Copies of this chain bind each other. A is one copy, B any other.
């Protein structure tokens, strides 16, 4: 949202925020927005919608851009999560790791996008190609929430054949891993390397090595896509895959 706000701050468009709880009826909400007729455009952040929802927005000429996943109806900005997992695997292999654990929200509720699973699959693929398959007990699913993540971290770090590196599919989960490791007297990265994913501002405070998905850029680019469609500068639907980058700090 910061990226969207910055991009629109340079224009005469006003940024209006609608908050939708994941348990609300997203369809009814989008319908009311479409019908209100007061919007020039709409950016949907990390919220799934149905084909009917999309048609309603199109029928009411609400120019829409979607952030976090690609679909056929609207322009989108997202990342290739599988590629992100492959980057994680390649980097950890390069650093000499072959026993790699994983923590992530593999089984999110139905409504959610499932990026963590794609990240795991990318990691698995690269490790398998290197002849270092990831055993099932090295993979811990945990919702992005402190207590579950801590349990998952404790399980992985307590294994007799503890992984030498752990890839956490979210930076906040990597932070939990670092905390649990410190409590167990394990040094990062000497005893266990930790690699995150997201590139949160807070990750920098923790010195976390992470795969950066440039969230601020995604907002800025979504706003630019929307503006280009509104002004007619570039009216067609476009799907932008943001490049991922590895930020090397101190935990791998």
Contact = CB atoms under 8 A, between A and B. Distances in A.
Interface string A198-220: 00001011110000000000000
A222 B21 CA distance: 21
B172 A205 contact: yes
A47 interface: no
Interface stretch (A64-72, A88-96, A98-106, A177-185): A177-185
A202 B250 CA distance: 19
Interface stretch (A10-18, A73-81, A131-139): A10-18
* Copies of the protein in its oligomer: 2
A146 B203 CA distance: 10
Interface residues of A, number: 32
Nearest to A186: B182
A61 interface: no
A185 B182 CA distance: 8
A104 B110 CA distance: 43
A225 interface: no
Interface in A135-169: 146, 149-150
Contacts of A6: 19
Interface of A: 1-2, 5-6, 9, 14-19, 146, 149-150, 172-173, 175-176, 178-179, 181-183, 185, 187-188, 202, 204-207, 250
Given A14-B16, A175-B206, 14 more contacts: A5-B17, A15-B17, A16-B16, A17-B17, A146-B204, A172-B205, A175-B205, A176-B206, A179-B205, A179-B206, A179-B207, A181-B182, A182-B188, A185-B187
23 contacts: A2-B19, A5-B19, A6-B19, A9-B18, A17-B17, A146-B204, A172-B202, A172-B205, A173-B205, A175-B175, A175-B202, A175-B206, A176-B205, A176-B206, A178-B179, A178-B182, A179-B205, A179-B206, A179-B207, A182-B182, A182-B187, A183-B250, A202-B202
